[in-house]
Amino acid sequence: MILFVLAVENILFPLVGAAIVLKFALSRRRSLLKDLPAELAERLGFVPLETLSKLAGRETIWIHAASAGEVAAVSELIARIKARGGERAVAVTCSTAAGRDRAQALPCVDAALLAPVDFYPAVSRFLLQIRPALLLIAETELWPHMIELSARRGVKIAVVNGRISKKSFARARPFAFLARPFLKRLDRVAAQSQEHAARFKALGAPAERVRVLGNLKYDVRPSAGPVEAAASALLDMGWAECPIFVAGSTHPVEEDAVLEAFLGAKEKVPALKLVLAPRHVERAHEAAQSLKRRGVAFKVWSKLEPGVERKSADALLLDAMGVLSAFYGRALLSFVGGTLVPIGGHNILEPALAGCPVAFGPHTAHVEEVARILQDAGGGFKVRDAGELAMKLESLAALPDKARLAARAAQDAAASLQGAVGRTLDYLEDWL
């Protein structure tokens, strides 16, 4: 069965690759294709000589994380692995350039690369060059060639922060017989919750190798640099004493709802300011157009000049990775995207950890457990539309004591879920 799946994947690879390129060409994210020629060698498994020199003569731990969000989730785990000492090198691969750039910025990462496409020549070539001793796969990146060819080389394989969404599980279950041989190749699975663990087992992961260790994202804290930069920007903009609404990881349609809610609430709370961060940085120009259409005076993060006063703006558009979390700690209320549209939700715990109440829409399939915990604690609020979001903003602005209680409740609820990094390290102890 393993050989059959790999053979089919290799045969279909050219067609699937062409379909993916076409999909991007017809989407809002088509600008990403301009970098494809420069990225092609890496995606086909060719590791730059400069990178190989950093790994030469050292045992390598290969960590694969799909994109910037997954890199952020495993960043504390990587830091703790490196802090244990030894000569091990850490190589991180990502499916997206934004993820690779995020990994490259981490001081605990020796090499950051685009992941080889799941095609026999590419994965085989990549493994032959970096020769990993251990492969840690973040969340759901279960690629057949990556798993099978690593296992054949004697590489220990573990899934960390493992999750399988309800929708993905429903799609995969009829084909469990195809997935089972590859899941049996996994030496360990550290699942985020009982529900995710049950799905891994149902698809074929050996029950004795699956443990529930929590979500690594709950242990991530914003670094000092972005926090200081955010505080400086708020001071320069004259926002230090203003109530601030932060809308993060937003998608098309959601930005219109966020702006409608912001402008509606601003009629009753004139001092209210907005920080807006689209889910994909390359869409910042679209968000800028939405701000212009609504007549909102705004500044763009990448164009701010430190120390220059710019008090005329009512909104700040974030067009860079890694700074959003620094603003959550200064906000009256946050909204996390992927929840007013049927995406399933992004990291709603991030603002809660920063001590900020969180609003989210009804589509929370990817963050269901956290949404329930935050709601039960009084630090999270489900809203159906822009009107309800505006009402929540107005309510918290009008009742400072209520806002403080909600912020404390969100932070306490988030803190109760921490500890996954330590548990995961304990689980991997004999390999490290």
CA distance readout (Å), 36 to 27, 141, 177: 15, 21, 35
Tell me, what's the pLDDT at 223? 65
pLDDT above 70 (res 30) = no
- On whether both 138 and 264 belong to a single domain, the answer is no
Q: How confident is the model at residue 51 (pLDDT cuts 50, 70, 90)?
A: very high
| Residue 320, domain member (yes or no) | yes
- On whether both 243 and 145 belong to a single domain, the answer is no
- On whether both 119 and 199 belong to a single domain, the answer is yes
pLDDT above 90 (res 420) = yes
φ, ψ of residue 247 in degrees (nearest 5): -115, 115
Residue 117: closest CA among 18, 250, 214, 231: 18
Q: Count of residues for the chain?
A: 432
| Residue 355, domain member (yes or no) | yes
| Residue 4, domain member (yes or no) | no
The Cα 161–Cα 333 span in angstroms is 28
pLDDT above 80 (res 21) = no
| Residue 10, domain member (yes or no) | no
Q: Which residues are catalytic?
A: 70
| Residue 116, domain member (yes or no) | yes
- On whether both 117 and 235 belong to a single domain, the answer is no
- On whether both 161 and 236 belong to a single domain, the answer is no
- On whether both 302 and 358 belong to a single domain, the answer is yes
- On whether both 200 and 240 belong to a single domain, the answer is no
- On whether both 248 and 337 belong to a single domain, the answer is yes
Residue 335: closest CA among 374, 383, 265: 383
Q: In which residue are the tokens 């009256």 written?
A: 332
pLDDT above 90 (res 295) = yes
| Residue 16, domain member (yes or no) | no
Decide which of 85 and 259 is more confident: 259
pLDDT above 70 (res 190) = yes
The Cα 183–Cα 153 span in angstroms is 16
Tell me, what's the pLDDT at 304? 86
Tell me, what's the pLDDT at 32? 64
Q: How confident is the model at residue 2 (pLDDT cuts 50, 70, 90)?
A: confident
Tell me, what's the pLDDT at 15? 80
The Cα 310–Cα 211 span in angstroms is 51
Residue 84, domain CATH: 3.40.50.11720
The Cα 280–Cα 288 span in angstroms is 13
Q: What is the mean pLDDT of residues 392-411?
A: 96
Q: What is the mean pLDDT of residues 109-115?
A: 96
Quote the number of domains for the chain. Answer: 2
- On whether both 77 and 121 belong to a single domain, the answer is yes
Tell me, what's the pLDDT at 70? 93
Contacts 24+ apart (CB under 8 A), 300-305: 301/233, 304/233, 304/236
| Residue 425, domain member (yes or no) | yes
- On whether both 43 and 107 belong to a single domain, the answer is yes
| Residue 6, domain member (yes or no) | no
Tell me, what's the pLDDT at 59? 92
Quick one: what percent of the chain has pLDDT higher than 70? 94
Mean pLDDT (the chain) is 91
Residue 432: closest CA among 54, 55, 61: 61
Residue 375, domain CATH: 3.40.50.2000
Q: Pull the structure tokens for residue 361.
A: 């829409």
Taken in order 319, 321, 326, 327, the sign of the CA dihedral is positive
- On whether both 348 and 370 belong to a single domain, the answer is yes
- On whether both 58 and 147 belong to a single domain, the answer is yes
Q: What are the pLDDT digits (tens) for 60-109?
A: 999 999 998 899 999 999 999 998 877 899 999 999 998 999 999 999 99
How many other C-beta atoms are found inside a 10 Å radius of the C-beta of residue 19?
A: 11
Tell me, what's the pLDDT at 254? 96
Tell me, what's the pLDDT at 236? 87
The Cα 258–Cα 360 span in angstroms is 11
The DSSP code for 58 is S
Tell me, what's the pLDDT at 226? 79
196 is in which domain, residue-wise? 34-215+419-431
Tell me, what's the pLDDT at 34? 66
Tell me, what's the pLDDT at 250? 97
Taken in order 320, 325, 330, 332, the sign of the CA dihedral is positive
Tell me, what's the pLDDT at 274? 98
Q: What are the pLDDT digits (tens) for 301-323?
A: 999 877 666 668 999 999 998 88
28-32, 121-125, 172-176: the lowest-pLDDT one: 28-32
Q: Which residues contact 32 (CB under 8 A, 6 or more apart)?
A: 24, 97, 282
pLDDT above 90 (res 363) = yes
CA distance readout (Å), 394 to 259, 269, 271, 371: 14, 7, 12, 22
